[in-house]
Amino acid sequence: MAKITGQVQMLFDLNKCLGCQTCTSACKTAWTDKDQGQEYMYWNNVETVPGRGYPKGWQTMGGGFKACTNQVDLSAPLPSINRDYGAPWEYNYDEVLTTEGGDATVGMLVPAPRPDAPNDYSSNWDEDVGAGAHPDAYYFYLPRICNHCSKPACVAACPRKAVYKREEDGIVLIDQDRCRGYRYCIKGCPYKKIYWNPIVKKSQKCIFCYPRLENEDPENPLAKNFCVTQCVGRIRWVAYAEDTTSNLYKLVNVWRVGLRLHPEFGTEPNTFYIPPLSPRVTNGTAPRIPTDLLAEMFGDNCSQTFEQRKARVEEVFAILEQERAKVAAGGTSELVDILTSYSESDRIQL
Amino acid sequence: MPLWPKDTLTTGRSPRVLFVWGANYLNQAKGFLDVYQTLWPKLDLIVDLNFRMDTTALYADVVLPATSWFEMWNLNTTDLHSYIIPFTPVIPPQFGSRSDWQIWQGLADALANTGVVFQDSLPDGTTITRDYATLGTDFRTLNTDGQDLSDDKDACQFLLDSSVETNGLTMDGIAEQPARLLETSEEWTSDLLPNQAYYGFQRMTEHLKPLHTLTGRQQFYIDHDWYLSDFREELPVYKPPVDADLYPLRWITPHGRWSIHSTYRDLKFQLRMQRGRPIVYLSPSEAQARGLLDNDPVEVLNDHGSLVAHLCVSPRLPAGMALMYHGWESYMLKNNLDDTSGFKNGWQGPCTIRIKPTQLVGGYAQLKFRLNYWGPTGNQKDTRVQVVKYAGTLP
């Protein structure tokens, strides 16, 4: 792999995500709503945590590098579209909504295939289900795109060198002409962010909206990643890792509130998450979302222990609470200012 | 609240024509089945001006296909913020649809062609001569000093020119760059403050302008007879649920994430990000007590109606509650309205209308009927249901 001279990064503030799926819809309608075989693909998805995610159970599906080595884990079976993603259902709109001769239509709008086992799943099946017990039940939203990892397991897994990482910006792409559909990349990606197109028999994935980055509109230079520009909650920041003046850089490296999702997979993701604070449990002091759950998901790097990760999550919470308290007391905080994000140009710095 | 036409209840007059605009009335009405069984047969003509083939459109005699937001010039605003939002025609009207303004204009012209002239009585007892022959012209020129407003964009510009909030803005200008209102009239409760988001009641807090209450201040105490003696609500008070619908689960139907009321409820892209069909939520304990599993088909029922949906079991629900996000089209639920098997479907099936008597108080200080602000609403909060496993077959 050639030396990467630039690296795009994205940061998500999970305290601001409202689970509206506008990012998902923007991505879907931009990139994967036209070609057959892409119906089930969500290059960007948002899943409820705790929950099984998309594909179902991806967090334990395998892939990534074994114990921080350079050896890709290809032992796990490939996810199946019906069982693990859920077959994307179609509807009989014509039957139900078209009338003839002025008669009220008889019929019911039904999904096909029916969302019953084994097709009882979709990208958002576990939405808002959560865990715990009322009134302390809890859940939060986790938006996910391809992490455009610095050490991409998909690139390492591909025997055709069809998956590649661009030198200029670190975006990971699949050369659709070279791809032969072996799907080692899907086995190798521990985040299961590569999708198999069964019609064209090639693997496809999030392209970080590179055509929008390459063809900058001079009249609208902030028109970059659709998932970022459409984000209702303004939870996403994008920047080049090398730009030490960016707000993303400040959040990750100066304020140190951005954590990686499952860094133990060993791929060095270029996406960062600010873990979600939550109210205290009833009659207790523990946060409603168990810190253990967050420590199992988030950390800095591959070699951290669980205890170190838990300490980091608690450290992030302490920083957030301390800076919020400053503002609540009438003071100012650079961190809170960045997180408030007054304009698009505060978040889109590519 | 005024009852009109006068003496409707004693003369036996009943509505003959229903014109639905900007709503999916049949689908969204509480007392869903009552509306269909009682009101619909009385009507000679049901017209629906709609950009969607929804439940109301399916049960209308005539559907006037309207353009949606990106096919026309139009304006949108609210008193909850200080911006005026233009709709612009990104694409021409599709499939023979027309903008709302053009449809109303066409109706005015059609009525003008009838040449009907008649005496109409007004609520205050006076009469007025209605001459339909001039209706088309009136529609386009009334209050405009002869200017012709047949064009959508011209009509929008006329509205901008006619309000102090927007007089000075142009349609092309706000299409290019969204604009804040220029000032707020007396109707508003706050001034427009530069570089500050609009918030309510600033004139009351900063300029000590009296509120529109009996005392001119924030007021909880209401000394109207009905509040004082009939219902004992002179101050806000907790009252236990009405003892009706003696079923075990409170029926809650909040606004959903996936639709604006019923709009978008039936869209494939939206449904694919849910469970593909209507779902109802129960807590794990309530599901277990009924032997129900996640994704089981269930019937939600009470004496008013029933519906069939699929179960989602979630611990965020308390025991004693069944929750369904609102707006499912009747054609997304088991059977349709014409089915005679006893199923009374529609997401509003289990709801009836219970008018809270104190909301009928009017003409007293701040308690003054004003559409969308004060008046009787269909309270549904005391509706209770049972949820049982659905034993029938689903299409």
Residues A90-130 have pLDDT tens digits of 999 988 888 666 554 557 899 999 999 888 999 999 999 99
Tell whether A290 is covered by a domain.
Answer: yes
Assess whether pLDDT exceeds 70 at residue B1: no
Under a CB-based contact definition with an 8 Å cutoff, are residues B57 and B63 in contact?
Answer: yes
Q: Are A299 and A263 in contact (CB under 8 A)?
A: yes
**Is the Cβ pair A123, B272 closer than 8 Å?**
yes
Q: Is residue A95 part of a domain?
A: no
pLDDT at B375 over 90: no
* Measured distance CA(B56)–CA(B263) in Å, rounded: 12
* pLDDT tens per residue across span A225-270: 999 999 999 999 999 999 999 999 999 999 999 999 999 999 999 9
A contacts of B274 (beta carbons < 8 Å): 122, 124, 127
Task: Write the pLDDT tens digit of every residue in B194-237.
Answer: 888 899 999 999 999 999 899 999 999 999 999 999 999 999 99
Measure the CA–CA gap between B204 and B196, rounded to whole angstroms: 17
pLDDT at position B342 is 57
List residues bridging with A203 in a β-sheet. Answer: A196
Task: Compute the half-sphere exposure of residue A176: CA atoms within 13 Å on the CB side of its CA.
Answer: 8
Residue A113 lies in a domain: no
With an 8 Å Cβ cutoff, is B332 touching chain A? Answer: yes
B338 DSSP 8-state letter:
T
Say if A150 falls within a structural domain.
yes
Contact A107 B283 (CB under 8 A): no
Task: Tell which CATH classification among 2.40.40.20, 3.30.465.10, 3.30.1330.10, 1.10.10.10 matches the domain B249-389.
Answer: 2.40.40.20
Domain ranges of chain B: 8-180, 249-389
- pLDDT computed for residue B9 by the predictor: 72
Query: Total domain count for chain A?
Result: 1
- Enclosing domain of residue A257: 8-85+123-349
The CATH classification of domain B8-180, taken from the options 2.60.40.10, 1.10.1040.50, 3.40.50.740, 3.60.21.10: 3.40.50.740
Comparing A118-122, B302-306, B316-320, the range with the smallest average pLDDT is B302-306
- In angstroms, what is the C-alpha Rg of chain A? 21
What is the CATH number for A127? 3.30.70.20
Quick one: pLDDT at residue B381?
75
Q: Phi first, then psi: what are they for A191, rounded to 5°?
A: -95, -5
Q: Is A203 exposed, middle or buried (0-12, 13-18, 19+ CB in 10 A)?
A: buried
B217–A contact, CB cutoff 8 A: no
Backbone angles phi, psi at A3, to 5 degrees: -70, 135
- Chains A & B: contacts with CB separation below 8 Å: 101
Alpha helices in chain A (DSSP H): 22-31, 93-97, 153-157, 184-188, 210-214, 226-229, 247-249, 291-297, 306-328, 334-340, 344-347
Decide if pLDDT at B37 tops 90.
Answer: no
The listed range with the strongest mean pLDDT (A247-256, B28-37, B116-125) is A247-256
Q: Which residues of chain A have pLDDT under 70?
A: 1-2, 99-106
What is the structure's pLDDT at B81?
87
Contact A137 B316 (CB under 8 A): yes
Q: What is residue B391's predicted lDDT score, i.e. its pLDDT? A: 87
Q: pLDDT band for B291, please (50, 70, 90 cuts).
A: very high
Tokens, residue B295: 């994704």
| Nearest by CB: A122 against B61, B273, B319 | B273
Which residues does chain A have within 8 Å of residue B329's beta carbon, measured at their own beta carbons? Answer: 109
Q: Is A51 within the bounds of a domain?
A: yes
> Could you tell me which of A91, A89, A87 has the C-alpha nearest to residue A107?
A91
Check CB contact under 8 Å for B272 and A20.
no
- Residue B91 C-alpha, separation from nearest chain A C-alpha, in angstroms: 18
Residue A303 in any domain: the answer is yes
Contact A109 B334 (CB under 8 A): no
Please give the pLDDT value at position B343: 59
Q: What is the pLDDT of residue A69?
A: 93
Check residue B351 and report its DSSP letter. -
Q: Determine whether the interchain pair A122/B58 forms a contact, defined as Cβ–Cβ distance below 8 Å.
A: no
Both tokens of A220, joined, read 């609208």
A33 to chain B: which residues are within 8 Å by CB? 269
Chain A interface includes B95 (CB < 8 A): no
Report which of residues B346 and A65 the model is more confident about. A65
The pLDDT of residue A99: 66
Say which of B268, B319, B338 has its CB closest to residue A91.
Answer: B268
Select from B27, B255, B268 the residue whose CB has the most chain A CBs within 10 Å, as the one to mutate to test that interface: B268
- Distance in angstroms (rounded) separating the CA atoms of residues B186 and B201: 12
The per-residue pLDDT for A338 is 98
Question: Who's near B85: CB < 8 A, 6+ residues apart?
Answer: B75, B76, B77, B174, B178
